[in-house]
Amino acid sequence: MHPDSSLQIESKLPWVGTTIFSVMSALAREHNALNLSQGFPNFDCPDELKDLVTHYMAQGYNQYAPMAGAPPLLEQLARKAHSLYGAQLDAQQEITITAGATQALFTAITAFVKTGDEVILIEPAYDSYRPAVELAGGRPVIYELGLPDYQIDWDQFADLISPRTRMIIVNSPHNPSGRVFSPADLKALQQLIRNTNILLLSDEVYEHLTYDGQFHQSVLRYPDLYQRSLAVFSFGKTFHNTGWKLGCCIAPPALTAEFRKVHQFNVFSVSTPMQYALADYLKQPDNYLQLAGFYQQKRDAFLEVLQNSRFRPLPCQGTYFQSADYSAISDEPDTEFAKRMTVEHGLAVIPVSVFYSSLRDEKVVRFCFAKTEDVLKKAGEILVTI
C-alpha cells in the first residue's frame, strides 16, 4: 500500500528506534546464537507458582482485580517491606500493582513531570527512562558514570540540580554496571534533596540480587528519603517470570494518590489470577531470600569462564548482568562488536553505549548470566575463542 502523502507524521520520539533488547534477541534467533543479551532467565519459573495461577483461574479469579491491586498481594508486599527494610506501609494507600516495572516507571514519570521540568538521569541507564521523560515534556539532564567503577561523585552530581529539577531517577542494583548503592550513597542523596521539591524515582527491580554479603539499600529503609520517593519493583526478576509483566510501585499516600490517577487510565489493573498466586507464594520468604545465593553462584561460574578469555570483567555486586571490557580484543565500536559476536561467534550480548544518550563507547559489553549451567559452559567455550 502507498502511504497517503497528506499524512504527516511528526514523531514525538524522533531519535528513538527499536529497543536494543528486541534488536539483539531477534539477531540471536536469526543466527541461532546463545542469547546472553536481553535480561531474562532461560529456565522456567517455579511449578508451585504456576500451579497457584492455575488454581486461581479454576476458582474463577478471572475478572478485573481492584485498580490498586489484589488486597492479599498488597498485604504480603507490605509485610515483606517491613521485614526486609523496616518500612511501616499502609498496604491500601502506598502500594500499587503494575504491569511490570516499565509501566510503573512510565506512570510515575507521567504523573509528576510537567513540560519544562528537569529530570536527572544517571547513565548508563535502562532505556525506558529517557523516552518517558521526553513524552511527558520533561528535559533529561544526564549524569554519566563510567569506567573504572561507575561510582557517583555526589558533589559533582549536586551541580546538576537547578530550580527546575523535578525528579531524580536512580537504579540500584544497577543495570548494566552491576554496581550497588552503599548506605553512604543513600545518605548523600537524602542530604541533597532534603528541603527541596525534588522527587526520587528509585528503580529497585534487582532488590534481591546483591552479592558478597551486601544488603540492598532500598529507599524504604530511609524514612526521610521515602517521604519524597516512588520505589519500583518487578516480580519478573524475582520469580523468573519476566513474561508475566507484573511489578509494583511503593510510595507515600499523597504520591500514590497521584500515581493512581494515571495508573487507572493507563492499565486500570493487571492480571487477577497471577496477583493472587503471587500473594500466596510471597508467604514463604525463602522464595525470594535464596535468590542472592542462587545468582551469586551463577555470577561466579560465569566469572570463571571469563577468566580464560581476553575479556576483562568489571566488578559486579548485583543484578544478573556481568559487564566486560573487550579492548584487548578489538577497537571496533561496541555496537559492531556485539553484532559480530552474535553473527560470527554465535553469542549475543548488549553493547553498553546504547545505555548512554551520548552513545559513549568504552568498549564494554554486557552479558546476562541468568542461564543454566550448560549454557554458561557453552558461552565459555565460545568466549575463549574470541
CB-based closest residue to ligand PMP: 100
Among 37, 96, 202, 234, binds ligand PMP (CB under 6 A): 234
Output the smallest distance, CB 20 to ligand PMP, in A: 12
How many residues at the interface with ligand PMP, by CB under 6 A?
13
* Residue 82: other Cβ atoms inside 10 A: 13
Which CB atom, from 38 or from 342, has the smaller least distance to ligand GLN? 38
Which CB atom, from 249 or from 306, has the smaller least distance to ligand PMP? 249
Segment contacting ligand PMP by CB under 6 A, of 96-104, 145-153, 252-260, 328-336: 96-104
Distances (CA, A) of 12 to 131, 135, 269, 271: 9, 7, 27, 30
How many residues at the interface with ligand GLN, by CB under 6 A?
5
The three-class DSSP label of residue 250 is strand
Contact 246, 98 (CB under 8 A): yes
124 in contact with ligand GLN (CB under 6 A): no
Question: Which single residue is written with the C-alpha cell 552479558?
Answer: 367
98 in contact with ligand GLN (CB under 6 A): no
For residue 184, give the amino acid letter. A
Cα atoms in the 13 Å half-sphere on the side-chain side of 108: 38
Cell for 361?
563507547
Q: Which residues contact 382 (CB under 8 A, 6 or more apart)?
A: 34, 345, 346, 347
Quote helix, strand, coil % in the chain, to nearest 5. 40, 15, 40
Q: Give, as ranges, the residues between 164 and 193 that touch ligand GLN (CB under 6 A).
A: 175
Output the smallest distance, CB 103 to ligand PMP, in A: 7
User: 234 touches which of ligand PMP, ligand GLN, none (CB within 5 to 8 A by kind)?
Assistant: ligand PMP
Question: Which single residue is written with the C-alpha cell 546463545?
Answer: 34
User: Any idea what DSSP says for residue 242?
Assistant: G
For residue 98, give the amino acid letter. T
279 in contact with ligand PMP (CB under 6 A): no
User: 140 touches which of ligand PMP, ligand GLN, none (CB within 5 to 8 A by kind)?
Assistant: none
Cell for 33?
546464537
Which CB atom, from 19 or from 214, has the smaller least distance to ligand GLN? 19
Q: Give, as ranges, the residues between 188 and 217 that touch ligand PMP (CB under 6 A).
A: 203, 205
Which CB atom, from 175 or from 190, has the smaller least distance to ligand GLN? 175
241 in contact with ligand PMP (CB under 6 A): no
Segment contacting ligand PMP by CB under 6 A, of 73-81, 100-108, 266-274, 310-318: 100-108
Q: Which residues contact 51 (CB under 8 A, 6 or more apart)?
A: none
Q: Which residues contact 25 (CB under 8 A, 6 or more apart)?
A: 35, 37, 38, 348
Q: Give, as ranges, the residues between 142 and 181 that touch ligand PMP (CB under 6 A).
A: 171, 175
Burial class (CB in 10 A: 0-12, 13-18, 19+), 19: middle
Q: Give, as ranges, the residues between 1 and 60 that touch ligand GLN (CB under 6 A).
A: 19, 21, 38-39
User: 38 touches which of ligand PMP, ligand GLN, none (CB within 5 to 8 A by kind)?
Assistant: ligand GLN
Applying CB under 6 A, which residues contact ligand PMP?
A: 39, 100-102, 126, 171, 175, 203, 205, 234, 236, 242, 247
Applying CB under 6 A, which residues contact ligand GLN?
A: 19, 21, 38-39, 175
